[in-house]
């Protein structure tokens, strides 16, 4: 069966996603300046100085933060609407006066934003940001990158914002399972593939047929997806914790792991030692090598086990989703 025939079969089994849950939307953006994005250290400095700003620094998921089944919000979006400026610095003052008072009220905030000030006239309150339909982010959203080379859909945590370069839709484990299925990706490729990149715009993803599934089948898909998401989080935590140990034990203060050490599970132990020496300028001390070799082998084995379990669950999911569309799973592998 060709991809065009598969898509026709899928359309006969359901309705477009945009009709089922409403049209997907683009993430927040474009931003007036990248300085509205802050890392955790900057966020903490601002909030320690002025705790009232805590609700104004919102966790945001960027395109690079989205992985298959999982996303993280490692950055914060500074959300200062126009009413905040008036309420904080006084109604009727101009932008130049507000900027001066910001330096007095919260120097860490003004210092973080300052590099962007040169690009705007002094009478413009360029730091203000209005988010349309902000309340929708109170609930989990399915999020994806508008331009991607792979299938990457994930579910956000309540309150997280969808940042520039992303799209989002109302979240559910069932819908996430459909979007992450092999059959859905084949259908999206027909609509969205442009060379090696997939242009997953809200309009194109909104046309994906979503099958009409009995409650028992929906529940089965949801249980599978919850398991996959949980296992994926465990794998991400394992990856992060081992990487952090490498940096803490062998790197200088403030060091970062680099590309090789971030994928420590792809390295044999001798290659891991070489990567540590290349990145941090020193080998694992001889008296600790046997211990580290055992720990590295154990971590790699645990990651392999998690990955294999995830792959088995994904295979089961693909079979279930294909049946919902009235398609044999074998047809999706041709």
Domain range annotation of the chain: 3-79+129-211, 215-333
Is the per-residue pLDDT at 269 higher than 90? yes
Q: Is the pLDDT of residue 25 over 70?
A: yes
Question: Is 86 a residue whose pLDDT tops 70?
Answer: yes
Segment 313-327 shows an average pLDDT of: 96
- Over residues 220-224, mean pLDDT: 98
Average pLDDT of the segment spanning 84-109:
92
Per the prediction, the chain carries an average pLDDT of 95
Residue 3: pLDDT above 70? yes
Segment 305-312 shows an average pLDDT of: 98
Average pLDDT (325-332) is 78
CA distance 95 to 89: 10
**CATH code of the domain occupying 3-79+129-211:** 3.90.220.10
Report residue 332's pLDDT band, with 50, 70 and 90 as the boundaries: low
Percentage of the chain with pLDDT > 90?
A: 87
Which of the four pLDDT bands, split at 50, 70 and 90, describes residue 333? low
154 CB-contact burial (10 Å; exposed 0-12 / middle 13-18 / buried 19+): buried
Q: Is the pLDDT of residue 216 over 80?
A: yes
- In the predicted model, is pLDDT for residue 1 greater than 80? no
163-201 residue pLDDT tens: 999 999 999 999 999 999 999 999 999 889 988 999 999
Backbone Cα Rg of the chain: 24
Q: How far, CA to CA in Å, does 60 sit from each of 31, 34, 40?
A: 13, 13, 11
Per DSSP, helices labelled H in the chain are 3-13, 17-21, 40-49, 82-89, 95-105, 107-117, 173-179, 182-192, 202-206, 215-250, 258-262, 269-280, 286-324
308/149 Cα distance (integer angstroms): 23
pLDDT above 70: residue 334? no
pLDDT bin (cut points 50, 70, 90) of residue 83 is confident
Q: Model confidence over 110-121: pLDDT tens digits?
A: 999 999 999 999
227 contact partners, CB below 8 Å, separation of at least 6: 313
- What does the pLDDT read at residue 29? 86
pLDDT at 6 (0 to 100)? 86
% residues pLDDT > 70 (the chain): 98
Query: Which helix (H) or strand (E) element contains residue 60?
Result: strand 57-61
User: CA nearest 69: which of 208, 235, 205?
Assistant: 235
Per-residue model confidence as pLDDT tens digits over 227-255: 999 999 999 999 999 999 999 999 999 99
pLDDT above 90: residue 82: no
């Amino acid at each position: 069966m060709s991809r065009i025939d598969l898509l026709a079969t899928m359309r006969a089994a359901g309705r477009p996603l945009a009709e089922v849950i409403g049209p997907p939307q683009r993430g927040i953006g474009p931003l007036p300046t990248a300085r509205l994005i802050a890392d955790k250290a900057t966020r903490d400095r601002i909030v320690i100085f002025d705790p009232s700003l805590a609700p104004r620094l919102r966790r945001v998921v960027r395109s690079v933060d989205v992985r298959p089944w999982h996303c993280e919000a490692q950055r914060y979006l500074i959300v200062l609407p126009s009413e905040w400026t008036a309420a904080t610095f006084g109604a009727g003052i101009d932008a130049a006066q507000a900027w001066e008072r910001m330096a007095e009220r919260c120097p860490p905030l003004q210092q973080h934003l300052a590099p962007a000030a040169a690009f705007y006239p002094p009478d413009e309150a360029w730091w203000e940001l209005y988010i349309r339909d902000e309340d929708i982010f109170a609930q989990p959203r399915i999020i994806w990158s508008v331009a991607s080379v792979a299938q990457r859909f994930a579910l956000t945590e309540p309150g997280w914002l969808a940042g520039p370069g992303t799209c989002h839709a109302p979240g559910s484990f069932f819908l996430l399972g459909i979007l992450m299925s092999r059959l859905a990706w084949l259908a999206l490729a027909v609509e969205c593939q442009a060379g090696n990149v997939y242009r997953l715009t809200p309009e194109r993803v909104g046309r994906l047929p979503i099958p009409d599934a009995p409650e028992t089948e929906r529940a089965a898909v949801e249980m599978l997806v919850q398991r996959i998401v949980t296992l994926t989080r465990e794998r991400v935590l394992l990856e992060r914790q081992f990487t952090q140990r490498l940096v803490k034990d062998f790197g200088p203060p403030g060091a970062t792991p680099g590309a090789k050490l971030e994928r420590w599970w792809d390295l044999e132990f001798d290659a891991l030692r070489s990567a540590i020496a290349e990145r941090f300028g020193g080998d694992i001390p001889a008296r600790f090598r046997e211990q580290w070799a055992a720990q590295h082998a154990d971590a790699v084995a645990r990651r392999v086990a998690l990955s294999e379990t995830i792959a088995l669950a994904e295979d089961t999911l693909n079979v279930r989703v294909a049946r919902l569309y009235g398609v044999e799973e074998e047809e999706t592998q041709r």
